[in-house]
């Protein structure tokens, strides 16, 4: 695969979307290869429909509550479509794709948060991705109490944001375990830092990691800025 898949992960309100957008703007100013952004769930037309099924608070209605395994399979369906229709074709063209959440979200939320079988989720991730893994993952690590406070200040929380604090604490513990298992791929950032400081830290890491991966002309441009 010619391109690079760079993923932003973390609990609710950790600042993933903020940092992903800033990183995309900076990379576009530095590189001549296409720099694309996407997200899960919701990176395709089918995914947008699945996203609304998954996150709409009306699903919280007790009679219509989404069962944990149904939830797992809906996220997997979103991912399979996203990989096939968007990620693989664009990576094959050499794009750098910055993606808001990917396979680690399912392990952290459905595996640790919902306490479904982690091995089963790994198998499902392998099926949904056809083996496509992230080249680099930024894990924005934040105390869930602070993340949820940021979300509440912003307004109407979605279905998962409404889960109890201990759910979000398990999710965070899941990310910790994943970072320990994949120290080369997953980089932990302390997301309590100011957005400008995090942006600088991410730029420095991208500069190093992409210079190693991309051809010389791109790396020259990256290191000169
Ligand atoms: N999910 C997803 C699963 O359960 N399984 C899966 O497999 C997948 C793929 C997605 C939901 O689906 C779940 C996880 C999620 O619950 P979403 O709307 O995409 O839902 O939710 P999030 O990805 O969590 O998006 P959020 O917008 O809630 O959080 P972000 O993107 O981490 O945070 P951001 O950047 O939007 O910032 C949140 C607020 O904090 C402020 C921002 O201004 C904003 O108001 N902020 C900061 N404040 C102080 N200091 C900083 N450094 C700040 N950075 C941002």
Q: What's the average pLDDT block by block, 10 residues per block, for the chain (225 residues)? A: 92 97 97 96 98 80 81 98 98 97 98 98 98 98 96 83 91 98 98 98 96 60 55
CA distance 161 to 182: 26
116 and 71 Cβ atoms separated by less than 8 Å: no
DSSP per residue over 103-157, as a string? HHHHIIIIIIIS---HHHHHHHHHHHHTT---SEEEEEE--HHHHHHHHHHHS--
What is the atom index within ligand 1 of the atom nearest the CA of 12? 24
Q: How far is the CA of 221 from the centre of ligand 1 (A)?
A: 31
Per the domain annotation, does 12 fall within a domain?
A: no
The residue written with tokens 């010619």 in the block is 2
pLDDT confidence of residue 224: 47
Question: Considering its fold, how many domains does the chain have in total?
Answer: 1
Q: Which residues form the domain of 113?
A: 28-52+65-216
Question: For residue 219, what is the enclosing H or E element?
Answer: helix 216-223
Sheet holding 4-10, edge to edge: 35-39, 96-100, 4-10, 136-141, 186-190
Per the domain annotation, does 102 fall within a domain?
A: yes
168: domain CATH number? 3.40.50.300
Per the domain annotation, does 11 fall within a domain?
A: no
pLDDT confidence of residue 60: 56
103 and 134 Cβ atoms separated by less than 8 Å: yes
pLDDT confidence of residue 216: 47
Q: How far is the CA of 45 from the centre of ligand 1 (A)?
A: 21
CA distance 147 to 186: 20
Nearest CA to ligand 1 atom 55: 15
> Is residue 189 within 6 Å of ligand 1 at its C-beta?
no
Per the domain annotation, does 112 fall within a domain?
A: yes
pLDDT confidence of residue 136: 98
What is the atom index within ligand 1 of the atom nearest the CA of 75? 7
Top mutation candidate among 101, 102, 134 for ligand 1, by most atoms within 8 Å of CB: 101
Per the domain annotation, does 211 fall within a domain?
A: yes
> Is residue 113 packed enough to be buried (19+ CB in 10 Å), middle (13-18) or exposed (0-12)?
buried
> Is residue 57 within 6 Å of ligand 1 at its C-beta?
no
Per the domain annotation, does 72 fall within a domain?
A: yes
pLDDT confidence of residue 5: 98
Per the domain annotation, does 192 fall within a domain?
A: yes
Give the burial string for 131-152 (b: 16+ CB within 10 Å, else e).
ebebbbbbbbbbebeebbeebe
pLDDT confidence of residue 217: 43
Per the domain annotation, does 146 fall within a domain?
A: yes
């Amino acid at each position: 695969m010619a391109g690079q898949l760079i993923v932003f992960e973390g609990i609710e309100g950790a600042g993933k979307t903020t940092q992903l957008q800033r990183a995309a703007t900076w990379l576009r100013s530095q590189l001549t290869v296409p720099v694309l952004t996407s997200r899960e769930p919701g990176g395709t037309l089918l995914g947008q429909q699945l996203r609304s099924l998954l996150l709409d608070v009306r699903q919280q209605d007790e009679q219509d509550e989404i069962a944990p395994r149904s939830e797992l399979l809906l996220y997997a369906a979103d991912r399979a479509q996203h990989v096939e229709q968007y990620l693989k074709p664009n990576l094959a063209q050499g794009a750098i794709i910055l993606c808001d959440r990917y396979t680690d979200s399912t392990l952290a939320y459905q595996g640790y948060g919902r306490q479904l079988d982690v091995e089963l989720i790994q198998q499902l991730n392998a099926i949904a991705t056809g083996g496509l893994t992230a080249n680099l993952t930024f894990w924005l690590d934040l105390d869930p109490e602070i993340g949820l406070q940021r979300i509440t200040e912003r307004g109407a929380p979605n279905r998962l944001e409404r889960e109890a604090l201990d759910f979000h604490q398990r999710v965070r513990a899941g990310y910790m375990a994943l970072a320990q298992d994949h120290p080369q791929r997953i980089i932990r950032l302390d997301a309590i830092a100011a957005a400008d400081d995090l942006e600088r830290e991410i730029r420095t890491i991208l500069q190093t990691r992409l210079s190693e991966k991309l051809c010389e002309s791109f790396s020259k441009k990256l290191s000169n800025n």
